[in-house]
Structure 1
């Protein structure tokens, strides 16, 4: 198993940089969770903000790879100060290092600093506890479980940023 150190979160600015986000998304959503590549690629990438978590990766043979993309998150801007959190993923061998928490915190901070007042997300139902720990809530009138690409999801909110 690889060892990751020196976590840094980068707000991506170019289409070229977004390739790192896509590498993580394909590894997690397509290769690991078996979603189709077609469902992973959508028209929202071009209008969204993207972040990637980078780490130095120490391999079993002792070599170190610098700046390896290990996590990503995407913000789709919606009307009326609403931000949609999506395409949030961390490579399986980098989980447990609080990289996901760092990505979500960076996302929330960006929203606060850029006139967003509410965040919404569609959580895979089994992963809703992670978002609850980060401050997201399932609203009483919005607690229906729904299917998204063959997986049960639930809508969660963070209001009054």
Structure 2
């Protein structure tokens, strides 16, 4: 079963490299949109494969009792193998440790069921973000 941990500062370049491969190279997101000022203060989480490579990542941006989860990325070679779920579970754990009671994210439509399985509910209508169809999803935390 894959595990995930909070990224140390020296691991940030590895998670940014994964995000660049997934979002910029695979999905065509402009590089200037992929990184933003929230990266500096966000809690970044990552999962590694058996060889030690970073294969999944995500970030948590806390705003009081509500937080947003974003930049969830998994290498195509490990999709459906639990790395993304491990990252999401660790992001939830980190949110609870910080007093967060609700999390929100902008899910790409193909990932909607992944988030629904993790307890998220879609709110609102489908919209475009970085040229990709998304839907806002939320869930409470214990």
Checking the alignment, whether the CA contact within 8 Å between 1:20 and 1:52 is kept in structure 2 is no
CA distance in 1, matches of 2:14, 2:5: 11
Q: Are 2:92 and 1:108 aligned?
A: yes
Q: How does 1:1-161 map to 2 (within 5 A)?
A: 7-14=2-9, 16-56=10-50, 66-78=51-63, 80-138=64-122, 142-161=123-142
CA distance in 2, matches of 1:48, 1:35: 20
CA distance in 1, matches of 2:4, 2:98: 18
Query: TM-score scaled by structure 2?
Result: 0.93
1:160 Cα deviation after fit: 4.3
In structure 2, do the counterparts of structure 1 residues 109 and 160 end up closer, same or farther at CA, with 3 Å as the change threshold? closer
Deviation sequence 1:76-118 (CA, Å, 0-9, x none)? 111x311100000100011121111111111111212221111
CA distance in 1, matches of 2:110, 2:62: 26
| Structure 1: stretches of 5+ with no match in the other structure | 1-5, 57-65
Query: TM-score scaled by structure 1?
Result: 0.82
Q: Could you say what the CA RMSD is over the residues aligned between the two structures, in angstroms?
A: 1.4
Structure having the higher Rg: 1
CA distance in 2, matches of 1:160, 1:72: 20
1:129 Cα deviation after fit: 0.9
1:11 Cα deviation after fit: 0.5
Task: Give 3-state SS (helix, strand or coil) of 1:144's partner.
Answer: strand
In structure 2, do the counterparts of structure 1 residues 50 and 130 end up closer, same or farther at CA, with 3 Å as the change threshold? same
